[in-house]
Amino acid sequence: MVLPVGRAILEDHGFEVIRVAEEARPLNESKLAQIVSQVNPDVLITGAEPIPRAVLFASDRLKMVQKHGVGVDNIDLGAASERGIVVANAPNTNSEAVAELTIGLMLSLLRHIVQAATSTRKGEWSRFIGRELGHQTVGVVGTGRIGREVIKRLTAFGSKILAYDVYQDAAFAKENGFLYVPLDELLTTADIVTLHVPLLNDTRGLIGRTELGRMKETALLINIARGELVDEAALAEHLKSNGIAGAGIDVFSTEPPQESPLISIPNVLATPHVGAYTLEAMKCMDETCAETVCQVFAGSCPPNVLNPDVVKRM
């Protein structure tokens, strides 16, 4: 995905930019492999599409995959390195955007904003009693760039904050007045649990049936990180049985999530993976992606290249 700012930078450096038509989307593995084999690009700039081995080996000409985003769990980094393809991402370009949507989902669920707006549009006058974010205990799972931005915003609301992370930053915790606690304690104590960890072998299925069973019946779960962090079937069961009060979900294990059990549940507020979709974040990502591509093809190795050894072999 390249917006005009990224296209302009690339074209100024002699690249021809070919954008996949909207009607061809969403792109699955076979579609993308076919496109790569037909277009024969030097660089593939990609978003949430899966980039497995088949896509990486679809063209002998492909030299670089640039992620228009941060997480690269959808890219087979090992296969890319084997094939001699540089992989880079765009770190710290969407942290504020994702954090703001996280807070937005919390507020929407707490104040029943969607239901209230729908009721008013229908000519009704249903007045929903909500809860205030500043009076909730919020458990932040993952205190990386996005988790930190969420914590800063929660501090402004006056929420009590608990956090869980394998790597703890005591100075940041002291500065922002929150405590690191074990995950089990966070789950049993928090009124809202929000996930901000990358998808790794250790975090896949992090929130399953057992973890959901530890949460309060009045609690909310926010997942704006990766769908595979949560057992979606178990979450659907807990929501339907009032095991927890609601969920805000921006990411799914399969996207688009036509068959997800979560979509039709009334106490789920689902959005189509739009955490990073602000003009400001997209512009920043565009610039970072385009500049990274230009630097790599000029012989440099920017710090956001994830397999720098491949650059040395180019």
- Write down which residue in 238, 253, 270 finishes a domain: 270
Q: Is the domain of 49 the same as that of 99?
A: no
Q: Is the domain of 102 the same as that of 24?
A: no
Q: How far apart are CA 81 and CA 73, in angstroms?
A: 15
**pTM of the complete model:** 0.88
Give the residue from 66, 101, 62 showing the smallest Cα distance to 85.
Answer: 62
Per-residue pLDDT in tens (0 to 9) along the chain, 314 residues: 445 788 899 999 999 999 887 777 778 888 899 999 999 999 999 887 889 999 999 999 999 999 998 989 889 999 999 999 999 999 999 999 999 999 999 999 999 999 999 999 999 999 999 999 999 999 999 999 999 999 999 999 999 999 999 999 999 999 999 999 999 999 999 999 999 999 999 999 999 999 999 999 999 999 999 999 999 999 999 999 999 999 999 999 988 888 899 999 999 999 999 999 999 999 999 999 999 999 999 999 999 999 999 987 77
Length of the chain: 314
Burial annotation 34-54 (CB, 10 A radius, 16+ → b, else e): ebbeeeebebbbbebbbbeeb
Q: How far apart are CA 36 and CA 38, in angstroms?
A: 5
Counting DSSP H helices and E strands in the chain, the numbers are 13, 10
Tokens of 13: 């450096």
Q: Is the domain of 158 the same as that of 188?
A: yes
Q: Is the domain of 235 the same as that of 149?
A: yes
Q: Is the domain of 129 the same as that of 176?
A: yes
Classify the C-alpha dihedral 85-35-12-9 as positive or negative. negative
Q: Is the domain of 207 the same as that of 285?
A: no
CATH number at residue 219: 3.40.50.720
Total domains present in the chain = 2
Q: Is the domain of 105 the same as that of 180?
A: yes
Q: Are 65 and 85 in contact (CB under 8 A)?
A: yes
Q: Report the catalytic residues.
A: 226, 255, 273
Q: Is the domain of 17 the same as that of 125?
A: no
Q: How far apart are CA 308 and CA 290, in angstroms?
A: 18
Q: Are 219 and 189 in contact (CB under 8 A)?
A: no
Structural domain including 33 reads: 4-93+277-313
Q: Is the domain of 83 the same as that of 231?
A: no
Give the residue from 10, 58, 51, 53 showing the smallest Cα distance to 35.
Answer: 58
Q: Are 264 and 239 in contact (CB under 8 A)?
A: no
Q: Is the domain of 78 the same as that of 221?
A: no
Determine the Cα angle at 44 with ends 88 and 204, to 5°: 55
Q: Is the domain of 87 the same as that of 168?
A: no
Q: Is the domain of 252 the same as that of 142?
A: yes
